[in-house]
């Protein structure tokens, strides 16, 4: 970047103010058509704070293909530039405020997880994930964490799985708007971790069911079933009879009926996980700037 470009680079506060104005304008326009926006709003200093959110960001940051554009994208998402982020099976559609009055549209397509890979994951995780809530909270053993985050073998997409486009004029392999959207996904996984599975076009409940399929022994625990209120309380997950406007735009395919949210059979025992294990992902990926 030469000095002229640098001089034109808006300060973070200006960018945030511009993003806010663009968001208000987009919100009014969307209200007229009945379309509900789902903006990415960060509440803390970090982009993501949950296991799945951090692991998503760490995965992005592990690829050299992306390293040049990611810092700008992180800065963008923190300024509130991602005005709308919709996640459907294999697809992310977003609107991002940029330097021009008209925001840009970003589309990211992610290949479904291969059938063989998904079967392998289910087999490897069989009997090791105690419940749906533990899966979504990321309370997993070190072994399972290693399995689901293994580059190219786990749940997270690698660059070959990701196709992206942006309507901005300086679109190249990855622009800052796309990078902001990808970080926005990490932030979204903090509250809706099941969307990772939606993106890879697999049903997250099957990771629990795998233990049942293999005839695992029932778990001797007080937590016989996962109450819907627990899931809603921990993640703010929308339940069928209590829709929230901001999430109405989620595709039907991402929703799971309340019955499916409960494991069919009591899961097997396994080691309890302390929060320090989740913390190691923070060390792997720098999501603080």
Site size toward Zn ion (CB under 5 A) is 4
CB nearer to Zn ion: give 98 or 193: 98
Which x/- pattern, by CB under 5 A, does the window 98-137 give for Zn ion? ----------------------------------------
Could you tell me which of 193, 195, 211, 206 has the C-alpha nearest to residue 126?
211
Can you point out the beta strands (E) in the chain?
A: 82-88, 91-96, 104-110, 162-166
Tokens read off for 134 = 């533990």
Least gap, CB of 85 to Zn ion (angstroms)? 15
Q: Name residues contacting Zn ion, limited to 166-205 (CB under 5 A).
A: 166, 168, 175, 177
Site stretch for Zn ion (CB under 5 A), options 2-10, 163-171, 233-241, 252-260? 163-171
Are the CB atoms for 81 and 15 separated by under 8 Å?
Answer: yes
Least gap, CB of 174 to Zn ion (angstroms)? 9
Please list, in sequence order, all residues whose beta carbon lies within 8 angstroms of the beta carbon of residue 218, skipping any fewer than 6 positions away: 265, 266, 267, 268
Q: Does the footprint of Zn ion cover residue 95 (CB under 5 A)?
A: no
Q: Does the footprint of Zn ion cover residue 69 (CB under 5 A)?
A: no
Least gap, CB of 81 to Zn ion (angstroms)? 11
CB nearer to Zn ion: give 122 or 177: 177
CB nearer to Zn ion: give 108 or 175: 175
- CA separation for the pair 235, 209 (Å, rounded): 21
Task: Count CB neighbours of 158 within 10 A.
Answer: 15
Please list, in sequence order, all residues whose beta carbon lies within 8 angstroms of the beta carbon of residue 169, skipping any fewer than 6 positions away: none
Least gap, CB of 171 to Zn ion (angstroms)? 5
- Give the residues lining the site for Zn ion (CB under 5 A): 166, 168, 175, 177
């Amino acid at each position: 970047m030469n000095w002229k470009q640098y001089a034109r680079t808006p300060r973070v506060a200006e960018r945030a103010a511009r993003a806010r104005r663009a968001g208000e304008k987009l919100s009014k326009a969307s209200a007229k058509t009945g379309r509900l926006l789902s903006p990415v709003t960060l509440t803390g200093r970090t982009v993501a704070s949950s296991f799945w959110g951090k692991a998503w960001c760490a995965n992005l940051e592990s690829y050299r293909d992306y390293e040049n554009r990611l810092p700008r994208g992180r800065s963008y998402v923190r300024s509130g530039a991602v005005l709308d982020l919709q996640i459907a099976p294999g697809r992310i559609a977003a609107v991002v405020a940029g330097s021009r009055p008209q925001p840009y549209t970003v589309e990211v397509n992610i290949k479904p997880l291969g059938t063989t890979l998904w079967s392998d994951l289910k087999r490897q995780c069989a009997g090791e994930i105690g419940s749906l809530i533990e899966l979504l909270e990321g309370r997993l053993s070190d072994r399972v964490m290693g399995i689901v985050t293994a580059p190219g073998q786990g749940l997270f997409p690698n660059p070959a799985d990701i196709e992206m486009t942006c309507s901005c004029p300086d679109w190249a392999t990855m622009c800052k708007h796309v990078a902001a959207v990808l970080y926005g996904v990490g932030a979204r996984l903090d509250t809706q971790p099941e969307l990772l599975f939606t993106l890879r076009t697999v049903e997250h409940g099957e990771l629990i069911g795998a233990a049942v399929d293999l005839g695992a022994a029932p778990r001797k625990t007080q937590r016989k079933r996962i109450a819907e209120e627990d899931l809603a309380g921990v993640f703010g997950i929308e339940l069928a009879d209590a829709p929230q406007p901001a999430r109405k735009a989620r595709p039907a395919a991402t929703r799971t009926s309340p019955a499916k949210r409960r494991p069919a059979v009591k899961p097997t025992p396994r080691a309890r996980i302390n929060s320090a294990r989740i913390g190691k992902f923070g060390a792997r990926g720098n999501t603080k700037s």
